[in-house]
A and B are shown apart, each in its own frame.
Chain A
Amino acid sequence: MSTTEHSEHSEYIDSETGKMGMWLFLFTEIFLFGGLFIVYSVMRAKYGEDFHHGALELNAFIGATNTVVLLVSSMTAAMSLTAIQKNQPKVAIALIFSTLLLAGVFMINKYFEYGHKFDLHLYPGSEVMRNLPKGEIMFFGLYFLMTGLHLFHVVVGGVLLTIVMLRVKSGKINSEHFLLLENGALYWHLVDLIWIFLFPLLYLIT
């Protein structure tokens, strides 16, 4: 730990402090999505029927698969934390790597899902969309914006966990100093949590 750039201030940042900062940051993320959830609820109240038809267009099978993928990836992220606490860095690396793999699976599924929508010209601004009922325009707009913002968070979480994995490898994260791993896992759980709300709101409630 002595060689890391954190050492200058390491006497300040203890694990409780670091985790508190992360939790507060996660609150802000929830409020960020909160704005979109407000728009969703307003539009759903206004266009219940159209939202019903819009939701039927989405592939609930891919959605459900991705839900399972993210839940399992959250589990592996949590297990990697236990592994590092038990001083098993190799296990921890393997588990973080599985999380990253699952994140990749999620993104591949998303790629096919978006691709299918584009084939049908169901994207904001397209001719097909413009001729849909207003509520469906809103539904697909929300679908792309909400899942798109979520996808962005998946990418950020992936980058964060990659950094964490490299630091475990180099020994900077070890059984005594694992704050970054813990915070990375917390962030990943948030990505998971938001999806757990997006999935039923967009795919299941028809």
Chain B
Amino acid sequence: MNNPSPTAPLNYLNHKTGLWSWMTATDHKRIGLLYLYSITTFFLAAAVLGLLMKIEKVAPGETIMTAQTYNAMFSLHGIIMIFIVVIPGLAAVFGNICLPIMIGAKDVAFPKLNLFSYYVYITGAILGLYSQFANGHSPDAGWTFYVPYSAEVNSNIILALMAAFTLGFASILTGLNFIVTIHRMRAPGMTWFRMPLFPWSLYATAWIQLLATPVVGITLLMVVAERTLHVGFFDPKLGGDPVLYQHLFWIYSHPAVYVMILPAMGVVTEIFPTFSQKPVFGYLPIVFSSLAIALVGYFVWGHHMYTSGMSIESRWFFSFLTFIVAIPSAIKVFNWLSTMYGGSVDLKPPLLYAISFIFLFTIGGFTGLILGAVATDVQVHNTDFVVAHFHYIIFGGMGFGFFAAMHYWYPKIYGRMYNIRWANIAWGFLFTGFNFLYFPMFIMGIQGMPRRYYDYDPQFQMGQTISTIGAVILFIGLIGMISNLVYHVRRGAIAPANPWHGVTLEWQIPSPPPHENFDDIPVITRGPYVFDNPHTK
């Protein structure tokens, strides 16, 4: 990729060249980049779908597409964004690139399995795309595949289900690899509590991937069995129960939300100390809140089903636990703010994204409590309010966390620096566009605008138009941000090994890192966030 001067030492990008060397790469950094390029491609495709849906809604009635096309679009948008982009997202890209370096290892525990899981991922992604175009029957059951519709409708549901199943398998293998890596590959002296917090968040995430994904795997297979064998587990005519499907689906898919958000929390937890030049506030509470989120997150799935027919006791129980799971998230927010307090804050693009992460995540979190309370949920269930809430969490949280990670580790990954001014401007567009796009949806949702409708009453005209304008601004910011990053991969100024004066291990090796990261495995003698290196003053 890069063309270094002949004297420059070889790094992971140029120690071997050619397409084949990338396709068969077992180097964790190269696999991370393979994921990065695949995920970015899919992300852009699904973002365009999102934009098209918003353009459809700029005026009431049919604007640019029919209702059926709209249904297929939100299904495709959801399936790509959730299963192909957001769930693998941070763990597969930055987990792969950074985890081994941050714990002082030369690679993950199973490098070949790592490459294998990438190909499983690509297979699933291609299956997902194929399901959209085969026979012209795009799946239109949403990303949640609710029965009975998904069991009966005549569209490519089976292909889409198999795609989700395959992608889940890739996710399991990545999680498995990371757990073993963290248990077995930490550098000498790196005790559990000397480990940086991004690896900690990946550790909590990996356990969720490992233990929750198989449940959705078997659930999706059961829907396949419904369609092919007419087993009837979810069909009341044959004795089955459609609500059972929703339980099984959300047993995975709620923890999956934490698969999305926990690594993003880990990223910003790395960024705040570096850009405040101050040790992270409350290391242990952050560790244990990650683990608590992973654990309690298992037992809150019922809050997706308050209106599906559950006993009042169940609803009470799930609502209570939903409020409990908000506590560790709040602890983290206080920790991040306290880390910045009194530090020498340097407002570079990674920190901008990290701060907007807190802002957006907090809005998403608080509106989550409105949905977690049974009485208010019944009012806003299946409205735009829900859509706004989870975009604030998933896009505002995971998405902005991903952008933060991209801007933070970019100089390490490529050995080049992007244009900071350009990055700041793109951030401005993204942040402004985001709020214009999604905030009106909270208000329209409370007023009764249902989700997944391609049309609306004239009373929502104002909000919908603002939202569409926001989508356009957001999209401009997105293009601006990505072109800045892509452009400077080859043309950016050469970045020093440690441009942000970070103290975790990845900043102590050259940029880009050499093929096996460390010539000598470092010996760790202290915690991860000690800021006493000379160039910080």
Chain A contact residues, CB within 8 Å of chain B = 8-9, 12-14, 16-17, 20-21, 24-25, 27-29, 31-36, 38-39, 42-43, 46-47, 124-125, 130, 133-135, 137-138, 141-142, 144-145, 149
A17-B180, A20-B184 known; A138 and B214 CB under 8 Å?
no
Contact A21 B218 (CB under 8 A): no
Chain B contact residues, CB within 8 Å of chain A = 26, 106-107, 109-113, 172, 176-177, 179-180, 183-185, 210-215, 217-219, 221-222, 225, 229-233, 238-241, 244, 247-248
What A residues does B183 contact at CB under 8 A?
20
Q: How far is the CB of A10 from chain B (nearest CB, A)?
A: 11
Q: How far is the CB of B152 from chain A (nearest CB, A)?
A: 14
What B residues does A21 contact at CB under 8 A?
109-110, 113, 176-177, 180
Question: Can you report 29 A-B residue pairs in the complex whose CB atoms are below 8 A from each other?
Answer: A9-B112, A12-B109, A13-B110, A14-B184, A17-B180, A17-B184, A20-B179, A21-B176, A21-B177, A27-B210, A28-B172, A28-B176, A28-B210, A28-B213, A28-B214, A29-B214, A31-B211, A31-B215, A32-B218, A35-B215, A35-B218, A35-B248, A36-B218, A124-B230, A134-B239, A137-B232, A138-B238, A141-B232, A145-B225
A12-B107, A17-B109, A134-B239 known; A141 and B233 CB under 8 Å?
yes
Contact B184 A16 (CB under 8 A): yes
A12-B107, A141-B232, A145-B225 known; A32 and B184 CB under 8 Å?
no
Selected from A25, A35, A138, the residue in CB contact (under 8 A) with B239 is A138
Selected from A28, A141, A149, the residue in CB contact (under 8 A) with B211 is A28
Max count, chain A CB within 10 A of own CB: residue among B176, B177, B219:
B176
What A residues does B215 contact at CB under 8 A?
31-32, 34-35
A32-B218, A34-B215, A35-B218 known; A24 and B180 CB under 8 Å?
yes
What A residues does B240 contact at CB under 8 A?
138
Contact A24 B184 (CB under 8 A): no
CA distance A141 to B225 in the complex (A): 9
What A residues does B239 contact at CB under 8 A?
43, 46-47, 133-135, 137-138
What B residues does A137 contact at CB under 8 A?
232, 238-239
Q: How far is the CB of B175 from chain A (nearest CB, A)?
A: 8
Q: How far is the CB of B182 from chain A (nearest CB, A)?
A: 11
A28-B213, A124-B230 known; A42 and B110 CB under 8 Å?
no
What B residues does A16 contact at CB under 8 A?
184
A-B pairs with lowest CB-CB distance, top 5: A134-B239, A35-B218, A31-B214, A141-B231, A32-B214
Max count, chain B CB within 10 A of own CB: residue among A20, A24, A142:
A24
Contact A13 B109 (CB under 8 A): yes
What A residues does B238 contact at CB under 8 A?
130, 134, 137-138, 141
Max count, chain A CB within 10 A of own CB: residue among B107, B110, B219, B239:
B239
Contact A25 B248 (CB under 8 A): no
What A residues does B112 contact at CB under 8 A?
9
What B residues does A24 contact at CB under 8 A?
176, 179-180, 210
CA distance A27 to B218 in the complex (A): 14
Q: How far is the CB of B228 from chain A (nearest CB, A)?
A: 9
Max count, chain A CB within 10 A of own CB: residue among B185, B219, B231, B248:
B231
Contact A42 B244 (CB under 8 A): yes
CA distance A23 to B113 in the complex (A): 15
> Which residue of B is nearest A36, CB measured?
B218
CA distance A10 to B240 in the complex (A): 50
> Which residue of B is nearest A33, CB measured?
B218
What B residues does A17 contact at CB under 8 A?
109-110, 180, 184-185
